[in-house]
Amino acid sequence: MSISTSELQLLCEQVQIISIRISKFIAEERKKVKPSDIESKGSANFVSYVDKTAEKYFVEALKELFPEAGFIAEEDSTLVKAEKYNWVIDPLDGTTNYLHGVPCFATSVALLDNNIPILGVIHEINMQECFYAWKNGGAWMNGERISVSKAASLKESLVSTGFPYEAQDWNDKYIALFSNVQKSSIGIRRPGSAATDIAYVACGRFDAYYEYGIHAWDVAAGVIIVQEAGGVVSDFSGGTDFIFGEQFVCGNKKVHADLLDKIKKHFQ
């Protein structure tokens, strides 16, 4: 089966409704989370019952919405991936921010067709901003069309990044790259939610974003939103392994090219 553009638009509208509803649950639970509710999945990588419950709500709703699709999700490893269509879910991107009361965290949902994003919805919970796109439908935020920035070069750009907490052997290279980009741009920001970073590139708040050690559920929704907003997405080599390859770069065409040149000098 194939999905038409009009069907994708309807799916996207329905995913927005689901995302906003689950985001309300996440917001309401924030002050209820106790230290005993928090589990560590590794160094600086946390999860709580809120993440797990939100993911359960997403899975239930998306199964009903599109039963043919499988799932790739952050918290539940028992979910089954399908051959063609798969939902990719991060129920709470920016969990560390959430647990510390730092106002930058989001839900992120994408639909893949043979591993290519065709629909994405990112809902930043604190600002109640819903970023979304579907294939050939443009990119939007709360009903307004969005596009990437018009910055002409890296030196005119505000860049966002994150730091890998699993790939510690890359730290020296990553810090050297950070220093290089910092000196070559207006500055760097590190909000702590990859999905939000990418959404902000799509609407022109950031001119580019890069990160290593990133996962499919962090970036999949952002891929289609940035692309439909006129931006460029790649891995650190400039290739196409940016969803499952744990390397991600996006920006407008000119800034992406400048940033990629810097990255390649440190990661060859």
Q: Is the pLDDT of residue 224 over 90?
A: yes
At residue 117, the pLDDT reads 97
Could you tell me the residue ranges of all domains in the chain? 5-145, 154-266
How far is Cα 158 from Cα 185, in angstroms, rounded to an integer? 6
Asked whether the predicted pLDDT for residue 253 surpasses 70, the reply is yes
Confidence of residue 259 (pLDDT cuts 50, 70, 90): very high
Asked whether residue 99 carries a pLDDT value surpassing 80, the answer given is yes
Distance of alpha carbon 15 from alpha carbon 121, whole angstroms: 7
Tokens of 53: 């419950």
User: When comparing pLDDT for 163 and 253, which is higher?
Assistant: 253
Identify the three-state secondary structure at position 133: strand
Which CATH number among 3.40.50.1100, 3.30.160.160, 3.40.190.80, 3.40.50.2000 corresponds to the domain 154-266?
Answer: 3.40.190.80
Q: What is the DSSP letter of 208?
A: E
Reported as a single tens digit per residue, the pLDDT across 135-166 is 999 999 999 999 999 999 999 999 999 987 66
User: What is the pLDDT, as a whole number, of residue 127?
Assistant: 96
pLDDT band at 4 (very low <50, low <70, confident <90, very high): confident
Burial class of 42 by CB neighbour count within 10 A (0 to 12, 13 to 18, 19+): exposed
Q: What span, in angstroms and rounded, lies between the C-alpha atoms of 255 and 155?
A: 9
> What gap in Å lies between CA 22 and CA 172, rounded to an integer?
39
More confident position, 231 or 167: 231
Of 36-50, 97-111, 157-171, where does mean pLDDT reach its minimum?
Answer: 36-50
pLDDT at 228: 98
pLDDT tens, 241-252? 999 999 999 999
What superfamily would CATH give domain 5-145?
Answer: Fructose-1,6-Bisphosphatase, subunit A, domain 1 (3.30.540.10)
- CA–CA dist 249, 258 (Å, integer): 11
pLDDT at 44 over 50: no
* 184-200 pLDDT tens trace: 999 999 999 999 999 99
The residues, any chain, with a CB within 8 Å of residue 17's CB and separated by 6 or more, are none
Tell me the CB-side half-sphere exposure of residue 175, using CA atoms within 13 A: 4
SS3 category, 146: coil
pLDDT confidence of residue 42? 42
In degrees rounded to 5, what are phi and psi of residue 156?
-100, 10
Residue 46 in this model has a pLDDT that exceeds 80: no
Per-residue pLDDT band for 34 (boundaries 50, 70, 90) equals: low
Neighbours of 20 (CB within 10 A): 15
Reported confidence tier of residue 100, pLDDT bands at 50, 70, 90? confident
Are the CB atoms for 74 and 89 separated by under 8 Å? Answer: yes
